[in-house]
Amino acid sequence: MITRNKIVEAIRNSTERAQANAREYLLFGRIYVYINSPVMPEIDIRSIIGHIEDIMPPHMMEEIDEIFIGMFDENDDRELEAHYESGALFISNMLATETDYLENIVHETAHSLESKYGLNIYGDRKIEEEFLGKRRRLFHILKQEGYEVEKVNFEEVEYSKEFDNFLYQEIGYDVLNSLVVGLFVSPYGATSLREYFANGFEEYFLGDRSYLMNTSAQLYRKILEIVEDELL
């Protein structure tokens, strides 16, 4: 005879198995999160979604309709962990920690805001002036350290593969981490104006807001305006 307790237990086990095998989730009740390829066993997608919902106002992700986690040619071709395109985030399923997923989602959310509100974010050029001031200071720091800084353009605010390679390959992020303290949140924030914004956005939600405010006042104020819905 099957008892009521056994029926309840069977239902519970069935539900737990379904949840464990889930490949589709909802973020903020409207953004579909699809698992196209299996993630690492230690990754809890529900935990990641819950964390995002805890730290970020829903209107910050209004430009995003879907998040795909899997293997994508554009990520591989551009050596990216994630990218934003046409209302969707495409994130590698090979990230090692939940923190990696959080950082990529928040970072690419910043880029999603640029697609519609770029003029509001960059139009007054306050962030650009702050960014270039930091780039010039970095130029002199690296020159004093003996690096051939004249061969790359420190005044170009758009992304440059040549400049990125100079920072990443010739200097190395391990060295840069100590040299950019008080200038950039991380070395990647020095690669372009857009990455400066996205890197600061990531620091605002996942890092140290006081540090961001003290080192990048204009960037902090702009992000705060967005968070408080003054630009949207």
Average pLDDT over residues 2-21: 46
* 14 pLDDT more than 90: no
Domain regions of the chain by residue span: 22-119, 124-227
DSSP per position, 42-101: T--HHHHHHHHHHHS-GGGGTT--EEEEE--HHHHHTT-SEEEETTEEEEETT-SSHHHH
Unique residue bearing structure tokens 């003054």: 230
Which band of pLDDT confidence, cut at 50, 70 and 90, is reported for residue 3? low
DSSP 180: S
The burial of 120, by beta-carbon neighbours within 10 Å (0-12 exposed, 13-18 middle, 19 or more buried), is given as middle
Tens of pLDDT, residue by residue over 158-179, are: 999 999 999 999 999 899 999 9
What pLDDT score does 2 carry? 52
Which band of pLDDT confidence, cut at 50, 70 and 90, is reported for residue 87? very high
Could you give the C-alpha distances from 2 to 12, 60, 138, 202, in angstroms and in order? 15, 50, 73, 53
Specify whether the CB–CB gap between 227 and 60 falls below 8 A. yes
Tens of pLDDT, residue by residue over 28-37, are: 999 999 999 9
What pLDDT score does 229 carry? 77
CA distance 123 to 108: 20
Q: What percent of the chain has pLDDT over 90?
A: 83
DSSP 216: -
| CA dihedral sign, ordered 194, 121, 51, 204 | positive
Q: What's the mean per-residue pLDDT of the chain?
A: 90
Whether domain 22-119 has CATH 2.20.28: the reply is no
Tens of pLDDT, residue by residue over 38-66, are: 999 999 999 999 999 999 999 999 999 99
Question: Cα angle vertex 220, ends 215, 225, to 5°?
Answer: 170
DSSP per position, 90-121: EEETT-SSHHHHHHHHHHHHHHHHHHHHHHHH
What pLDDT score does 230 carry? 62
Reported as type and span, the H/E element at residue 25 is strand 24-27
What pLDDT score does 98 carry? 97
* 18 pLDDT more than 50: no
Tens of pLDDT, residue by residue over 105-140, are: 999 999 999 988 899 999 999 999 999 999 999 999
Could you give the C-alpha distances from 94 to 44, 100, 121, in angstroms and in order? 13, 10, 32
